[in-house]
Structure 1
Amino acid sequence: MKQSASARAISYLANREHSAHELAHKLDKAGFDVEEIDDVIQQLKEAGLQSDVRFAESFIRSRANRGYGAVRISMELKERGVAADIIKECMNQAEIDWFTLAAEVRCKRFGEEMPDDYKSKAKQQRFLQYRGFTHEQITESFNLTDDEK
């Protein structure tokens, strides 16, 4: 017996929050009709079971806890179909000190010691940039002392 699009979507949401775009993509891959997918997602939104805002808040917390910066998190949310205004609002509401997080990530990966040559510092800067921290956050991560973190 084939599962309905609604039941399938609810089972996806039971595991974790999904953006409407992600949910539509998964249901499309499962072979459901586009109109049926749109109807199901609209019903889930109206019932409060699917929310891009809730998804974005959860995603931001999760990725920040794993040591990723605001630039990368925003890009990943955009890739998942979350609207720019929702991303901006949720990033502003997230009570995360990105400067401190950048310093913590740098120290966790490379230790407390400051790099003693240009090559080592450049390597650390590239790592933090890849992780999604801004130039200012990266620069400041080298300036924070232990008592400031």
Structure 2
Amino acid sequence: MMQQSSYLSLDEGSKKARHYCAYQERCSEDVKKKLLGWGLGEQQTIEVIDQLEKEGFLSDIRFAGLFVRSKINQNRWGKHKIETGLKSRNISDEIIAGAIANIDVDVYNNNIRLLIINKLEGLERFEPSIKKQKITQYLVSKGYEPEIVNEFVKSI
């Protein structure tokens, strides 16, 4: 079966991108990949992204804030993992720093406590030193800072 190439005009690409952004919050990198995948050229893609930003359909600041809130509240990720996720989407360091600065410390610390409690349930058969080691590894893999993790693990 022959694959048909789909090259869009600037107007068609802009219209599709509006729908794409209206459905769910996107970052400029996601929209860029989508537009290039639809067959728009590099210059046209930049024009569409600029227009979407002017119209309010696209905002990396808004995306970063939503990304941070969803990863904290739903996935219980730590700051390092969130930062890595945003960097993989080419979000600027300034925007990342601003979004991470808005994390509620109480929610963040409560997430660590909940993750420790849940992890402890599966580690009943291990001796205390092994439990602490496994919990530390788990929390660091979730993106929590080792110094904060160590403070919480000491209290186990």
Q: Unpaired segments of 5 or more residues in structure 2?
A: 1-5
**TM score, norm. by length of structure 2:** 0.82
User: Which consecutive segments of 4 or more residues in structure 1 shift more than 6 A?
Assistant: 112-115
TM-score, normalising length from structure 1?
0.85
Q: Which of 123, 138, 144 is the matching residue for 1:133?
A: 144
- Contact 1:22/1:80 (<8 A) preserved: yes
What is the root-mean-square deviation of aligned Cα atoms in Å? 2.4
**Shift, 1:48, TM fit:** 1.3
The structure with more radius of gyration: 2
Structure 1 residues 43 and 144: alpha-carbon distance in aligned structure 2, compared to 1, 3 A threshold: farther
Map residues 12-91 of structure 1 onto 2, 5 A cutoff.
12-65=20-73, 66-91=75-100
- Identity rate of aligned residues, in percent? 25
Partner Cα distance (1:119, 1:109) in 2: 12
Deviation at 1:47, TM superposition (A): 1.1
Spell out, residue by residue over 1:91-146, the C-alpha distance to the aligned partner (whole angstroms, 9 max, x if none).
1123243333212222123339897432222111111111000012212332558x
> What SS does structure 2 have at the residue aligned with 1:123?
helix
Aligned equivalents of 2:121 and 2:151: distance in 1? 16
